[in-house]
Structure 1
């Protein structure tokens, strides 16, 4: 891409005034801000596509059911994937802070994620039953640990390379572009379902997902990152001491509490899928429609959420979780009291579409908030501590949700929605950081 074309596209996406605003980054970094903007956008677009094509809430659930893995193992994959990438982050953050250049840690994590996902494809081809289920769970643990490397460093790199006024838009456009690709993938799955998709098809889908992390690695490695603030790793420093932030930093503590209550948009998604399977069946076309719905949700909503986050990321979280909570409450009423509507073919793709819009706003809002509320190594600590706490809460709530789902899936959705409404209030009360 030529410099002039890059400049024009950047202005069109962010407004001409964004070129003069180097708030939050060094003067040297601002010279490469536009090229880094597009490199990060492309790299994260590919990882988001890979995430969608190996999503435990949809694709991996279908894949494990296809190879006859036990239900109790299927119920573990979402908490393991989500919490496993968060729990190690305090320990990892100490190492990360010793590095002036941090993109190579992200690159390492991305390669390991590709290996883990490709291994799942091989397992699906050659194993079945409980053995296949346990092997897939082990691969997800490796994937999650590798993901934690990327999670800790990505916000640091973005914070050093991208000016503060366009970070929310960057996340929004990334989600939107990846949404287009996810939409195309979902349409292809629907097309293949007509010829009765086999295990070879699903494995190929997983292999393609793995390749997206390799492509992202190549792009991310070319980012121009300048040395930043570092700390010498202290033998005496106890990673657990980082939790003192929760006691001493009120603004950060309020953010962690709010973020914990926002988990309903993520935790409720698998139960939406279970309801779809219960009332519409296990056809791969249903999976395709859910993926398409999620892709369209990203396309239509992400630019809006991105612009709103650059104005007020706390309000973005609040508005988005209200949508998810109201949706869950309405779905509970429909499933509980309307037999005709709960078996309608259009219902679950539609509610999955709305949930995708809401969850996109929650994710984009809280990511923008934590990047903007801190600087330098403080940002690394904020990300690591908050993610570790959320990882612990995910394991606990994920286990409780799985237990409650044995009695009523729709009741789980209602309870999560009620917590979400409290989260909306807590998010709205956060300190403004933009």
Structure 2
């Protein structure tokens, strides 16, 4: 009997600290908010909130440490991989995780409990990173480049499965008006880690030790993924609907009818497509800075740190605002990214002295990081809030698949345009962003 009492006491203490921490982070101390989730899920909200926070913070930090924009290109350059392989990393990473999501969505719909899809995808990503470390230690040149690229394709496909499952599990386990705050905390903590990593890369990113440093970053990222899946597996998810779980291309592509039949969803996808520039334009900032200041490697750590700091200071604010109106967050952030890009393009042709560019480009990159954090958080919260059940899974799968195709095409066109003029590319992406901001103001309100 004593042992049983002790066990109940320990369980009660664990529940108390989870509840207290949840109330502090989610600002839910005036009565549990349970909007848009079941009563059973409501009772598990504190534990699920914290498990989701830890899991996705770890995965977000891992993504920044193993970035296809920084760590992987620098590693492959150290290993002597050809430049054409390095140029494919970002398109593969971004579009590879989105293109198959209509097919993945059909598989996810058949699962009554969908957290295990995320756990499986996270495991694949962790092992992919470990194999990249092995490649970096044993291979060189073209062989290393092809091996890492193949593993990145596998990594991206697994990432697509996680993306579909995550939004659906989030909608089942975390109440509306608390999802934006959760995403805000995830982005903020991951931003702090990116800030620290950027400072480290700025200090140690040059010299003979660079290759070993990048392999260490990949190994740490893999360990973070394994910690993430251990935490995500602890989420208490109650079985949900499995309707519409038929597999195959016909089921997947029939979901495209949503774009024709569902006007609010169609407007969302168009607005999201126009806003892609907030993520695609960052490398062009670095290109202009390198042309103006030289030695891009010495600046890279500063840019990563600036982006991480931007997420740290802005994401909690974006998150709280998104719980009131994710539509407004998307519009404001999209407009801010566009205006920043126009300012960068104008600065680059102004002929101002390089001494001024030393502070201007990192500052612009910092503002872009704030804006991009808002665009991502606003669209994610809006998408989760605008639909429920299997419709949410369809929305995620269709929108991400369509954006994956457009992202790949836009990236290729952007690369061609950059051959003519980097400034032209930046201005084009900025104009599209302004149109996206204007269009999103016409979305119907779904938050709050």
After TM superposition, the score normalised by the length of structure 1 is 0.95
How far the C-alpha of 1:215 sits from its partner, in A, is 0.8
Is 1:91 the counterpart of 2:103? The answer is: yes
State how far apart, in whole Å, the 1-side matches of 2:395 and 2:302 are. 37
2:279 equivalent among 245, 266, 281: 266
Whether the aligned pair in 2 keeps the contact of 1:57 and 1:269 (CA below 8 Å) is no
For the residue of structure 1 that corresponds to 2:353, the secondary structure is: helix
State how far apart, in whole Å, the 2-side matches of 1:63 and 1:196 are. 12
Per the alignment, residue 332 of structure 2 pairs with 319
Please give the per-residue CA displacement for 1:332-364, whole angstroms capped at 9, x wherever unaligned: 111122252487333332222111111100000
Structure 2: runs of 5 or more not aligned: 1-12
- Aligned CA distance change for structure 1 residues 119 and 350 (closer, same or farther; 3 Å): farther
Structure 1, 399-408 or 388-397: larger mean CA deviation: 399-408
What does residue range 370-381 of structure 1 map to in structure 2 within 5 Å? 370-381=383-394
- Aligned CA distance change for structure 1 residues 162 and 98 (closer, same or farther; 3 Å): same
Per the alignment, residue 38 of structure 1 pairs with 50
State how far apart, in whole Å, the 2-side matches of 1:138 and 1:367 are. 28
State how far apart, in whole Å, the 2-side matches of 1:278 and 1:128 are. 29
For the residue of structure 2 that corresponds to 1:16, the secondary structure is: coil
How far the C-alpha of 1:18 sits from its partner, in A, is 6.5
Whether the aligned pair in 2 keeps the contact of 1:193 and 1:283 (CA below 8 Å) is no
Is 1:106 the counterpart of 2:151? The answer is: no
- Aligned CA distance change for structure 1 residues 136 and 365 (closer, same or farther; 3 Å): same
Is 1:416 the counterpart of 2:416? The answer is: no
For the residue of structure 1 that corresponds to 2:85, the secondary structure is: helix
How far the C-alpha of 1:60 sits from its partner, in A, is 2.2
Please give the per-residue CA displacement for 1:294-326, whole angstroms capped at 9, x wherever unaligned: 111011000010011101111111100111111
How far the C-alpha of 1:201 sits from its partner, in A, is 1.4
Whether the aligned pair in 1 keeps the contact of 2:103 and 2:247 (CA below 8 Å) is no
Per the alignment, residue 299 of structure 2 pairs with 286
Please give the per-residue CA displacement for 1:95-142, whole angstroms capped at 9, x wherever unaligned: 111111011110010011112222223323333333332222212111
Whether the aligned pair in 2 keeps the contact of 1:59 and 1:287 (CA below 8 Å) is no
- Aligned CA distance change for structure 1 residues 277 and 122 (closer, same or farther; 3 Å): farther
Per the alignment, residue 439 of structure 2 pairs with 426
Is 1:52 the counterpart of 2:64? The answer is: yes
Whether the aligned pair in 1 keeps the contact of 2:106 and 2:251 (CA below 8 Å) is no
Whether the aligned pair in 1 keeps the contact of 2:123 and 2:225 (CA below 8 Å) is yes
- Aligned CA distance change for structure 1 residues 222 and 134 (closer, same or farther; 3 Å): same
Whether the aligned pair in 2 keeps the contact of 1:259 and 1:423 (CA below 8 Å) is yes
- Aligned CA distance change for structure 1 residues 412 and 128 (closer, same or farther; 3 Å): farther
- Aligned CA distance change for structure 1 residues 97 and 18 (closer, same or farther; 3 Å): farther
1:157 equivalent among 143, 149, 169: 169
Per the alignment, residue 335 of structure 1 pairs with 348
For the residue of structure 1 that corresponds to 2:67, the secondary structure is: coil
- Aligned CA distance change for structure 1 residues 275 and 119 (closer, same or farther; 3 Å): farther
How far the C-alpha of 1:94 sits from its partner, in A, is 1.0
Structure 1, 416-425 or 268-277: larger mean CA deviation: 268-277
1:353 equivalent among 352, 355, 366: 366
Per the alignment, residue 221 of structure 2 pairs with 209
How far the C-alpha of 1:4 sits from its partner, in A, is 2.8
Per the alignment, residue 27 of structure 1 pairs with 39
- Aligned CA distance change for structure 1 residues 158 and 235 (closer, same or farther; 3 Å): closer
Structure 1, 337-346 or 226-235: larger mean CA deviation: 337-346
After TM superposition, the score normalised by the length of structure 2 is 0.92
1:126 equivalent among 122, 138, 142: 138
2:178 equivalent among 166, 181, 192: 166
State how far apart, in whole Å, the 1-side matches of 2:163 and 2:177 are. 21
Is 1:403 the counterpart of 2:416? The answer is: yes
- Aligned CA distance change for structure 1 residues 272 and 102 (closer, same or farther; 3 Å): same
State how far apart, in whole Å, the 2-side matches of 1:279 and 1:9 are. 47
State how far apart, in whole Å, the 1-side matches of 2:209 and 2:289 are. 19
State how far apart, in whole Å, the 2-side matches of 1:305 and 1:158 are. 18
